[in-house]
Amino acid sequence: MSKFVIECPSCGRYAQASTGFFARKKIDCLCGHVINVRTEKMTSKVCPHCRNNVIFDQSEGENALCPVCKEKLLTTDSISNTAEFSCPSCFCRLTADKSADRYTCPVCDTVIDVQAQIAKEEIKNQGLASVIKYEGDNRTFVWKHPIEDFNLGSQLIVHESQEALFFRDGQALDLFPAGRYTLATQNLPALEELYRLPTNADTVFHSEVYFINKTVQMGIKWGTDSKVRLFDPATGIYVEIGACGQFSLKVSDSRKLVIKLVGTTGIFSQADVIDGNYEVTPTIAKFKAMIMTKVKSDLARIIKENHINILEVDENLDVISKGLRTGINEMLEEYGLEMPEFFVTTIMTPDDDPNFRRLKQQHSDAYLKVRQEEILKAEAEAAAQRKEVEAATAARMRIIGAQGEAEAYKLRAAAEAEEMRMKGYTYQQETARQVGLGAVQNMGGTGGGGLGDLAGLGVSLGAIGGVINMTREAISPITNNAAAIGGNISGVINGTEAWDCSCGNKNITGNFCNNCGAKKPAPAETWDCSCGNKNITGNFCNNCGARKPAPAEAWDCSCGNKNITGNFCNNCGARKPAPAETWDCSCGNKGITGNFCNNCGKRKGE
């Protein structure tokens, strides 16, 4: 049989128990609770080493090990690491681990803040509080000091980004910024006026102190608890979306926050903003309904006012976040709070909703149509620009060509002028010489005529002789044929070519001879040879001896087009008909196309 200590589940005191067959199964505790050793030897405890709340068997005594860190649980030090305090509701004495945070009173079921009660017990044992400071965490906005009785001369310590507010009978009095203060009448003007405090440092006054944490607390999560119905005006389709994100929060007016929101409660933390606390001390989410209502009412409005496409909403999250923060801050200002940042991190779209799929399809079709129109417009603009470039290029080339021709003409003229200068005559003299030579060359043939006929052309033989420096012997043949030359030139000038008839009549300008009535002979047909010889009148080339090519056989099409030389009509595209098959008759008739001879009537083939 071995002995061990067992903790009373009612008051927390320890009692002695034993193991073995004859050991007592029930033990009476000093608080009156009967401890059932068999059932209550299993208990839970916060391990003093790893700080985990574990369940273990108390009958193992000092050999009981923590299942997490494997350290001993019921050592002498751990048993002595208990604190005794009174329940603030029923005032019964309780015992708990000094490191515990919460403890439920077994008598009245009050959830007790162990650390606050231990601090009160220490103050009662040591006297009045001498140091007043913040002992909460950084997730707390407002923390009420558990001690309410202070004496003049106590030290008030307010950290940076904190403020301390004194209350008396629910009335907010002095507000202290960051610093260290000795509570004296000169530091408590409002409290002095209310209490009429004496100058004795041992004088006790009753007051409540609230510490306000003014740091910006970030990473507070939010999310819509239901879908937001959004109407797309472009397509007339309703879709339901959701949103979530995070925001930061800070205290903008300490007095307003404590008076209007905190009241007589001891703490206001992040859990009280939007989540609520259902673990130890149940609290409600004070701003959840307000934030959710504002988000859902403003979300659709902001998307509509800013013409945000629900399919492209992610690129406008900053615009939506800014609009929602402005609306929420207007309501938080009444409670002394402010949102420095409000972030919409995700917009949940209903991808499985048929309406949303139809909306995506419509937007996709519209985008493709607009894109196609833009491509066609760009192509048309490019084509127009290309035509403008081509026209400008052609005009520039024409200008360049004209400039080149002008330059070439200038160079040629300069060369001719230099040549004439070297030969000793002017441009006018050269022009007259060229005209005279042309006239002389075109005045071929023999016959009489006076020199006065040549003068009728406006060209003087004297001028010609002067220009070309002809001798009298060179001019003599021209004089003999002046009449004929004058007649030919006159005919050319008047638009008619003179001809001579076989009867002896000459220089006839009409189509018939006025002497014998003979018709003007047709001009000889000329042709060009492939060797380069041109205007040949015979059947053979007088240069290379090539034979004159046979004339192309022409045919008439049924569409009315005539004298076609190709195999297809250039008007309707009809093919040239095959030549009719002909035969010769024994009677002498040839080239017959029918089945009977049109001379003797004999049948083809007989």
Q: How far apart are CA 226 and CA 177, in angstroms?
A: 42
pLDDT at 448 over 80: no
Task: Say whether pLDDT at 132 is over 80.
Answer: yes
Task: Give the end of a domain, one of 22, 48, 80.
Answer: 80
Residues 500 and 599 in one domain: no
Q: Are residues 233 and 342 in the same domain?
A: yes
Has residue 359 been placed in a domain?
no
Cβ(131)–Cβ(114) under 8 Å? no
Asked whether the predicted pLDDT for residue 242 surpasses 70, the reply is yes
Report the alpha-carbon distance of residue 492 to residue 11 in Å, rounded: 150
How many residues does this entry show for the chain?
606
Q: Identify whether residues 328 and 451 lie together within a single domain.
A: no
Among residues 54, 80, 106, which one ends one of the domains?
A: 80
User: What pLDDT sits at residue 344?
Assistant: 92
In a domain, 499, yes or no: yes
The pLDDT tens digits of the residues spanning 246-259 come to 999 999 998 888 88
513 φ/ψ angles, rounded to the nearest 5 degrees: -75, 130
Q: Going by C-beta distance under 8 Å and a sequence separation of 6 or more, which residues neighbour residue 480?
A: 446, 448
Place of tokens 């929420």: 328
178 in a structural domain: no
Domain that holds residue 456: 425-523
Using an 8 Å Cβ cutoff, are 330 and 209 in contact?
no
What is the per-residue DSSP string for 64-130?
-B-TTT--BSS-HHHHHSEEEEE-TTT--EEEEETT-SEEE-TTT--EEEHHHHHHHHHHHHH-SEE
Tell me, what's the pLDDT at 340?
Answer: 93
The model's confidence at residue 480, banded by pLDDT at 50, 70 and 90, is very low
pLDDT of the residue at 450: 44
Q: Check whether 152 has a pLDDT greater than 60.
A: yes
For residues 432 and 511, membership in a common domain is answered with: yes
Phi-psi region of 256 (alpha: psi -120 to 50; beta: other; left: phi over 0): alpha
pLDDT of residue 140: 87
CA 185 to chain centre: 67
Q: Give the mean pLDDT of the chain.
A: 76
Percent of the chain with pLDDT over 90: 6
Please report whether residue 365 resides in a domain. no
pTM: 0.44
List pLDDT tens digits, range 280-326: 444 567 888 888 888 888 888 888 888 887 777 888 899 999 999 99
Please count the structural domains in the chain. Answer: 4
Domain identity same for 226 and 285: yes
- Residue 359: per-residue pLDDT: 74
Final residue in a domain of this structure, among 333, 350, 367: 350
Q: Do the domain assignments include residue 570?
A: yes
Residue 82 is encoded by which pair of tokens? 């208990």
Query: Mapped to the 3 state alphabet, what secondary structure does 129-159 carry?
Result: EEEEECCCCCCEEEEECCCCEEEEEEEEEEC
pLDDT at 162: 92
The SS3 of residue 428 is: helix
Could you report the per-residue pLDDT of 337-375, keeping only the tens digit for each? 999 999 999 888 777 777 777 777 777 777 778 888 888
CATH code, domain carrying 265: 3.30.479.30
Spatial separation of the C-alpha atoms in residues 396 and 378, rounded to whole Å: 26
